[in-house]
A and B are shown apart, each in its own frame.
Chain A
Amino acid sequence: MSRPRTVAIVVDAADPVRVGEAWRAAVGVSLRGARVTVATVDGSGEGGPAAARARATLALFGHDVEGDPAALAADVIELWRDDGGQMQAAAPPRAHTIVHLVRAGRRAAAVAPGDRVLQLDDDVDHAAILDALIAADVACVW
């Protein structure tokens, strides 16, 4: 039997609605047996009562709700970010490689040796992005 997939939900947003949606997604992705880590960047907004319930639910089922935002260690990374995102962390050592896809006006953080950083500009070559996805272990969109 293969190991459960791991999903990291990284919350780096000021908007409380987006934060709440991140927590709803965190519960959602746990529904098929994945192990979920939620990592909240300092300075992020509060997600309200629904987010608090989601946090309690995830913790009850043994998921990690106090992950390290810079670790980015998972099979799937969902970075819930907005223009209020503040993450600037350096990357700790890790075994897997990440392709960082960076939207216009944003900056990547937690970039480790071996990672690739590609810009999502207007004239981006999506076939090249696909090649980078295949070559890396996991993708993170900034």
Chain B
Amino acid sequence: MKALGLVLATRDDLRHLLGLALAARTRGVAVRVFAMHEGVAALRAEPAAIAALLEAGCELVGCATSADRAAVDLAGLGVVAGSQDDHAALCAWAERVVAFT
């Protein structure tokens, strides 16, 4: 596997997403993360997780619509503000997708 996509839409699964992402990066697997719904607030609550994902070379995109609803400043977190188009692109790009929805 060369490409892993991870979708986060919950509050309580970020640690599993992080664990999978870091395990994949250790093996040279490219990782993209798309966060929406409660996943955006989960990222805000764990800036250390964001730092670890970015440091490991993961691409990290948050749904701007979800961020607006939750008053989350994605840019301030270091997360790219994206849209559902990024969600679609992740599903097209990844060989495996794990959706924490």
> Residues on A close to B: CB < 8 A?
5, 7, 18, 21-22, 24-25, 27-34, 75-81, 101, 103, 120, 124, 126-127, 129-130, 133-134, 138-139, 141
Q: Which residues of chain B are within 8 angstroms of A80 by Cβ–Cβ distance?
A: 9, 101
Q: Which residues of chain A are within 8 angstroms of B75 by Cβ–Cβ distance?
A: none
Q: Is the CB of B100 within 8 A of A141?
A: yes
Within the complex, the shortest CB–CB distance from A73 to chain B, in Å, comes to: 15
> Residues on B close to A: CB < 8 A?
1, 4-5, 7, 9, 12-13, 16, 19-20, 22-24, 26-27, 29, 36-37, 83-85, 87-89, 91-92, 94, 96-101
Q: Is the CB of B22 within 8 A of A78?
A: no
A21 to B5, CA, bound (A): 19
Identify the closest chain B residue to A101 (Cβ).
Answer: B98
Q: Which of A21, A29, A103, A127 contacts B88 (CB 8 A)?
A: A29
A130 to B26, CA, bound (A): 11
Given the known inter-chain contacts A30-B88, A78-B99, please indicate yes or no for A130 contacting B23, CB distance below 8 A. Answer: yes
Q: Is the CB of A18 within 8 A of B37?
A: yes
